[in-house]
Amino acid sequence: MTRIVLAFMSLLISSPAWADNLIYIDQVGSSATITIDQDGSGNSVGASGDDSKSDGASTILDIDQVGSSNALDYDVYGDNASVTATTNGNSSDIDIQVGTTGGTNGGSDDVTISITNPGNTNTVGVNVGATESLVDDVNVDIDLTSGSGSNTITVTEDSTATSILDKTTDIDIDGSTNTVTVTHSGASQHDTLLNHTGSSSTLSITQSGAEASTVDVNTNGSTSSVTINVSD
């Protein structure tokens, strides 16, 4: 087990191609660039209940994991953060928290999250904001395509952003028996775009708070269930 503390610096970590490589990051300070490459199965960055953390403005986080059964548990605090997670394999677990309580830079503004995985049976969770006062302007982009199936995506977003450009969720997913759940709340101008191809999937979108709301769902396939709830 490795624990790394960073401040005002750039980091490149490259893991060899054997299994069970564990990386923990606890980074404090602005303008950090963190790049992590892991090859092999059973690797992790952070762990459930002991997430890696970046606490500071202008963090650039780029994590690549190749192999099956990998895990990514990461908390991001601070403004102008960019999080890119690319996983290529099956049965991985990705959990990203933005602006939740616990960091000295607990608020987060202008944060972009991009997650890509062409594999199967993966679990992706993004939680933006523990309360409305902590977060503004977070855009989430998730791409689980190239024949993926049996994946679970959960996005929960609660922020103060009022522009339709500032609290967007864009999900592209294909394959059978996928489950997608998106919940937007707080302020207004919620915007969800979901492109889905495949059969027997469950798609659920809920948006509420201060009226303005946009939901755009394109689905192509049989026997899928789509539920959309929008309220003021």
- Exposure string of 203-220, with b = 16+ CB inside 10 Å and e = fewer, is bebbbbbeeebebeeeee
Residues 23 and 45: beta-carbon distance below 8 Å: yes
Q: Evaluate if residue 164 carries a pLDDT over 80.
A: no
Average pLDDT over residues 80-85: 89
pLDDT value for 14 = 60
pLDDT at 157 over 60: yes
* Per-residue confidence (pLDDT) for residue 102, from 0 to 100: 57
Q: How many CB atoms lie within 10 A of CB 16?
A: 9
Please write the tens of the pLDDT for every residue from 180-208: 999 988 777 788 999 999 999 999 999 98
- In tens, the pLDDT along 52-71 reads 999 888 889 999 999 999 99
Query: Quick one: average pLDDT of 143-160?
Result: 85
Q: What is the mean pLDDT of residues 1-26?
A: 60
Give per-residue pLDDT as tens, 85-144. Answer: 998 889 999 999 887 655 555 567 678 889 998 889 999 999 887 655 667 778 899 999
Query: 49 vs 192, which has greater pLDDT?
Result: 192
